[in-house]
Amino acid sequence: MPKEIRFGAFVREVNSRHRYLSYNHVTPKLDHDDNGEPVPVRVRPYKLGSTMALRLIQPYVGIRLIDQMRAVLPLALYLVLFQIVVLRSDIADAWTITAGLVAVILGLMFFMEGLRVGLMPFGQALGSSLPTRAKLPVVLIIAFLLGIGVTFAEPAIGALKAAGAIVNVQSAPYLYTLLNDWAEVLVLGVGIGVGAAAIVGTLRFLYDWSLKPLIYLTLIPTIGLTFFISLDPELSKTLGLAWDCGAVTTGPVTVPLVLSLGIGIAAAAGKGGDGMSGFGIVTLASLFPILVVMGLSVYVHQSTTPADIIAAAQLSNGTADTTPWFDQTPWVETIAGLRAIVPLVIFLFLVLTFVLKEKLPHPGKISYGITLSVIGMIIFNLGLTYGLSKLGAQSGGIVPAAFTQITSVETSPLYDWLVGLMIAIAFAWILGFGATLAEPALNALGITVENLTNGAFKKKTLLYAVSIGVGCGIAIGVAKIVFNIPIAWLLIPGYITALVLTFFSNEEYVNVAWDSAGVTTGPVTVPLVLAMGLGFGDAVNAVEGFGILSMASIGPIISVLSVGLWVQWKVNAQHRRYDETYEAEKQILETGASVPSQSE
Amino acid sequence: MSNKKREMVVLTDVSLITAIVQRGKADEIVKAAQEVGAQGASIHYSHGRGVRERLGVLGLVVEAEKETIQIIVSSDQANRVFESIYRAGDFDTPGMGIMWVTPVEKAATFIPEDILEKFGREDRRNPFDVRPTDA
């Protein structure tokens, strides 16, 4: 070891070696033509080696992959561990489910990136230039059609269709026919609801309508219709589906696209920007579809009888032994993926060319994005069938083994009836709580809310309020299936409570609370919870397993409104205290007395 | 306040490091700069053109939205912060960004009292001032 080191040598070892290069050598030299005029420099593309290309791509893919893994893996691990540790049963088809989950992660990654690169620029171009080029009625019609288009593109909608296959035609004929024969009409109906929400939401942007009267106006007929439907024993089985549809619609496609259109319109009219204008559209987009789907089920009730449906279902079951090529994997998923994206893109393109008379900005980039989102949708659909839905259905089917006899688990019931039931409900609660806490959209909402309320409503408070609300909602939903409680008994009092709370709350908290319900139900949670509910319902021989999602929507509304009222009360109390001290101090100053204020 | 004339402390030996990186990278880079002693940074949102287009198909993975980071450092620190940013920002990869150092004539901000005490309050002549002295 040398005793002395020259400081220069030390610095050279510690720091990077600097090599100096004159930038003059790098920049292109100007050529001159015969007249002495400079020739414009032609930009030549860079040529990259494969290692360089890899280094460039690796962080880009890495970030996006990790984002989706964060959304999927914790939930999947929780379900798997719960099944192995608490329920002591192995995962059936473990490899298929793993492959399916990988497909979900990859599919979501491609889809979200495609959405960002390909579809969002469309939405923004539309939002910013549409209002200046077209009259308000045209704008509203386009907003309506866009609402329908995005509903078909919503990844979670596929889960709704997949759920149809599990419903038993004998026990719930109307539910069966809605999800099978009327499946396309059902999605269209949901789309019409979202479209109507887009219209009302846009008008709200323009005229600064308060959200409260809109909620009253929408909820009162919705609750009324729910009550009417609950009177008919056959029809009431469709209620869970109708209310779940509201939760399904507000996903990663609908919210940003409809919102960007609305914000663009508001900005063009010189309105908006007060922070609150972005809210409310999500609420309406989850309430209107409920109304439409209930209307549809009443219509189906009027036009057919349960006996007809059962007969038709048995007929089609008899003939459909050989599934045609387009009903087999992977073709059915491919077609579903194309059908979800392509019509929306064509619609957006037509509006851009014929209404706006604009050319597509960056056509290469946008077609890359669209291709990516179609590929992502196809992979996601595959993953949905083989990963999420399968895992959810399996967990849901096995959890009741904790408290009741189930054929697939030999040693069931594993625990005492009461203990087992507690375990099952705790399982549901933790599932809802954890999944919501991990939802990135909720985190974003929390930051917005903290800013809007000047820190009175902390981000953490909102996160926990919503997560606890969803957890309780899902737990109640599971209890509903076990005890076979009619969903109307839960929904009507729940929403009436929400209405009362809304009446007493500030406009800001109303906006936040009602929107937080829509934000929580992402493309991973919806299929998982939907499949789990159906599997659960099947295992305990319930008529239908819908309604868990709708309970997960009402839960956070009530919890956030309550917390909001509490925060409001606390802030008011603080103000009152300040006012009192201020008054006291003023009195002291006025009387010039240095003694504490005396009673007069 | 007393009616003493307001004093102003002017900082010399200051460098400005400006780095333009893809959107979302700034936090990581500012952290790396702070770890080697940079005090703070301001981040501006901006758009970039040029390199992305020249990367062809690969350009799709480079964000057009950029973050422009400005960090004021002392000239002693400049090299170390410059290198730290270079490593944190992977500037040796195409499309990642560019940065440069500019000398700053003078700067002024709040200087904590204890630091002022340490270096004395004597009125040092501005080294950049080329006006003739009033001797």
CA B79 to chain centre: 11
Residue of A nearest to B92 (CA): A52
Bigger pLDDT: A340 or A144? A144
Per-position DSSP letters for A38-65, written without gaps between them? BPPPPPPPP---HHHHHHHHHHHHHHHH
Does the pTM of the predicted model rise above 0.90?
no
Residue B44: pLDDT band with limits 50, 70, 90: very high
Cβ neighbours of A368 in B, within 8 Å: 60
- Using DSSP, state whether B22 is helix, strand or coil: strand
Nearest by CB to B83, from A15, A44, A48: name it. A15
Cα–Cα distances in angstroms (integers) from residue A495 to residues A188, A216, A218, A514, A554, in the given order: 26, 11, 12, 11, 7
> What residues in A contact B79, CB-CB < 8 Å?
15
Q: Which residue of A has its CA nearest to B83?
A: A16
Contacts of A45 in chain B (CB under 8 A): 54-56
What is the pLDDT, as a whole number, of residue A600?
A: 39
Q: Pick the residue with more confidence: A9 or A90?
A: A90
Distance spanning both ends of chain B, measured CA to CA? 32
Side by side, the strands of the sheet bearing B42-47 are B42-47, B65-74, B14-22, B97-104
pLDDT per position as a tens digit, A310-329: 777 776 665 444 555 556 66
Mind listing the pLDDT tens digit for each residue in A53-73?
Answer: 888 888 888 888 888 888 788
Separation between Cα atoms, residue A239 and residue A182, nearest integer Å: 16
The C-alpha of A125 sits at a distance from chain B's nearest C-alpha, in angstroms, of: 17
> Cβ distance A430 to A78 under 8 Å?
yes
The DSSP-derived string for B55-124 is TGGGGGGS-SEEEEEEEEEEHHHHHHHHHHHHHHTTTTSTTSEEEEEEEES-B-----HHHHHHH----P
Residues A529-587: tens digit of each pLDDT: 888 888 888 788 776 778 888 888 888 899 999 998 988 888 888 888 888 888 887 78
**Could you read off the pLDDT of A79-133 as tens digits, one per residue?**
888 888 877 777 778 888 889 899 989 998 998 888 888 887 777 777 777 777 7
Please answer yes or no on whether B54 and A365 come within 8 Å at the CB atom.
no
DSSP A388: I
CB atoms B90 and A59 under 8 Å: yes
Alpha helices (runs of H) in A351-416, residue ranges in sequence order: 363-383, 389-398
pLDDT confidence of residue A321: 47
Interface of A with B (CB under 8 A): 15-16, 43-46, 48, 52-53, 55-57, 59-61, 63, 117, 365, 368
Q: Out of B24, B61, B86, whose CB is closest to A57?
A: B61
The answer to whether B53 contacts A43, with C-beta atoms less than 8 Å apart, is: yes
- Token pair of A90 as six digits: 């192995």
Query: What pLDDT does B132 receive?
Result: 55
Chain B positions with Cβ closer than 8 Å to A:
24, 51, 53-56, 58, 60-62, 79-80, 83, 86-87, 90, 93-96
Judging contacts by C-beta atoms under 8 Å, the chain B residues touching residue A48 are 55, 58, 94
